[in-house]
Structure 1
Amino acid sequence: MTLVNLSTVLAEARHARRGLAAFNVIQLEHAEAYAAAAERTNLPVVMQISQNCVRYHGALRPLAQASLAIAESCAQPVVVHLDHAEDVDLIEEAVRLGLTSVMYDGSKLPDDANRAETNRVVQLCRAAGVSVEAELGEVGGKDGVHAPGVRTDPGDAAQFVAETGVDALAVAVGSSHAMVERTARLDTDLIGQIRDAVPVPLVLHGSSGVDDAGLAEAVRAGMTKVNIATHLNNVFTQALVARLEQAPTVDTRRYLGAARSAVTDEAVRLMELLALR
């Protein structure tokens, strides 16, 4: 296998009642780690490049093309996904570059505008064979919004999917972005209700704040795509610091290589956990 669109691997994972791991790419080493993890586990993986990451690098093209090249050389299915894109121009660039999936984030717009813009993105991407994920409401932790206790309504979720035609839906069920401690408690009953109401696979954002047992329970309850970023950044940073403390060096390959290896190992563990192995 090689580069695939999100809908393909999501459908397979949903049918098998297993989770699909989606990890953020910030440096080239991240993409290399995820491809290596996919080959070690014989499982598909999603490599995600966020709009924030694009802003950090100053452009999408360099990191996207590197991630696409790594995906094309991987023996397992790999999705290269543009995550949390609020800029439709950036989505159009991602499609031109060959990314196979995008997440349009119109959650900060008024509800009617979010639905209209999401539908427009779906039409644009569908013509190119690119999958579209979207978000109903705003998943917690971003800029201090989304009051504690707010959750996605199953009926609203079903209507949103019907009106927009998205291929996957991110929902609010108790997780929050950028958590550094794994203390979030998910509403698995609600996950099951949304799964039964919505015809497309569900996406869990903010999964770094959920412990292993909670992640597995979420998949059993009906989550399919599970996004993990902050947790792996922590693994990357700790391994890098430990390597420098153990053997100081100016050779960046030494400490970045240690970080890449640590992320590979943790990605393997998480992918197998989500696959309910």
Structure 2
Amino acid sequence: MPLVGTGELVARAHAAGHGVAAFNVITLEHAEAVAAGAEAAGAAAVLQVSENAVRFHGGRLGPVAAAAAAVARASSAPLALHLDHVESPELLRAAPGAGFGSVMFDASKLPYAENVAATAEAVRFGHAHGMWVEAELGRVGGKPGDPSPGRGPLDAHAPGARTDPEEAREYVAATGVDALAVAVGSSHAMTERTAALDHGLIGELRRAVPVPLVLHGSSGVPDGELRRAVASGMVKINVGTALNAALTGAVRAFLEREPRVVDPRRYLAPAREAMAETVASFLRTVSPAGGPAGAVPAGAVSP
């Protein structure tokens, strides 16, 4: 199936009151697992390549983007290709030529005024090149390099970490972003699903902000909390660490059983299957099979 735009999937889910899940892709097996999981769940999904993943691949965007796009086009599920957590202006400018119809520009580490200025410039560039642009306000935290004084990575409950609804309203108006990632109690890189979200704040943000809301750090959010988050107003649900945990757990279990195996296909096959099961589970939680998020007409293409 041709690539479908992230903006198209998010708009359809938003209109229907459903969510659409977006999964971080690091290896070819990640991309294949997202496609297989979406097909099993009968739902649409977004394949995300982050700036960190590009750095892992030697700073070369083209090969990993081409691989993810090829997997998406070969799938029977509606899949989009999205460039995630971009801080580098050079990487942002490379996105359209690499086939991305959407990008998350991340200036959240900057002071508010600088965040607004940098994001508005990114939006102007993105829209001029037909890209749907997401940004972040507040600090989801949990990533290396996101310091919280004395505690390492920024804590999701640290004072000032959560997104203020009035500031969010002003930010969207000033930047022109198409979607807004907000800090409401989740955190990146969580390996246990114990996060408790501020659903009252999600509702306030939904009423304050005229664009779809995005939840980062969803790997650490239990299914019930995710369903409530979607019901409260979250639309795009980002998942990364849960796939890595599934992959690593399956590889570790296989090699504990068969420590002499050296052919990576032997342990990557069950790892890919474990990731696909994880993808399908998240999709069934936030995007019911057959719902509007998964009902994109064949041949539809948009940024």
Give the shorter-chain TM-score range.
Answer: over 0.9
Residue 55 in structure 1 maps to residue 66 in structure 2: no
Aligned to 2:284: 272
In 2, Cα distance between equivalents of 1:95 and 1:121: 13
For the 8 Å contact 2:139–2:163, the answer to whether it is kept is no
The superposition leaves residues 232-275 of structure 1 with CA deviations (integer Å, 9 ceiling, x where unpaired) of 21111111111222234111111011100110011111101112
Alignment of 1:22-101 (within 5 A): 22-58=22-58, 59-101=60-102
Letter in 2 for 1:100: G
For the 8 Å contact 1:216–1:276, the answer to whether it is kept is no
1:276 positional shift: 4.8
Aligned to 1:253: 265
Alignment of 1:1-277 (within 5 A): 1-58=1-58, 59-142=60-143, 143-145=146-148, 146=154, 148-149=157-158, 150-248=161-259, 249-276=261-288
For the 8 Å contact 1:2–1:76, the answer to whether it is kept is no
Equivalent residue pairs, number: 277
SS at match of 1:48: strand
Letter in 1 for 2:4: V
For the 8 Å contact 2:61–2:98, the answer to whether it is kept is no
1:214 positional shift: 0.9
In 2, Cα distance between equivalents of 1:100 and 1:240: 33
For the 8 Å contact 1:215–1:274, the answer to whether it is kept is yes
In 2, Cα distance between equivalents of 1:263 and 1:55: 22
Letter in 2 for 1:77: P
1:57 positional shift: 1.1
1:42 positional shift: 2.1
Letter in 2 for 1:34: V
For the 8 Å contact 2:50–2:86, the answer to whether it is kept is yes
TM-score, scaled relative to structure 1: 0.96
Letter in 2 for 1:9: L
In 1, Cα distance between equivalents of 2:73 and 2:121: 29
SS at match of 2:147: coil
1:71 positional shift: 1.3
SS at match of 1:169: strand
SS at match of 1:113: helix
1:188 positional shift: 0.4
In 2, Cα distance between equivalents of 1:185 and 1:144: 21
SS at match of 2:214: strand
SS at match of 1:18: coil
Q: Which runs of 5+ in 2 are unaligned?
A: 149-153, 290-303
1:135 positional shift: 0.5
The superposition leaves residues 124-144 of structure 1 with CA deviations (integer Å, 9 ceiling, x where unpaired) of 111222111100132122323
1:101 positional shift: 1.1
Identical aligned residues as a percent: 52
Letter in 2 for 1:10: V
Letter in 2 for 1:127: A
In 1, Cα distance between equivalents of 2:86 and 2:266: 33
For the 8 Å contact 1:25–1:48, the answer to whether it is kept is yes
SS at match of 1:80: strand
For the 8 Å contact 1:232–1:266, the answer to whether it is kept is yes
Letter in 1 for 2:129: A
SS at match of 2:236: strand
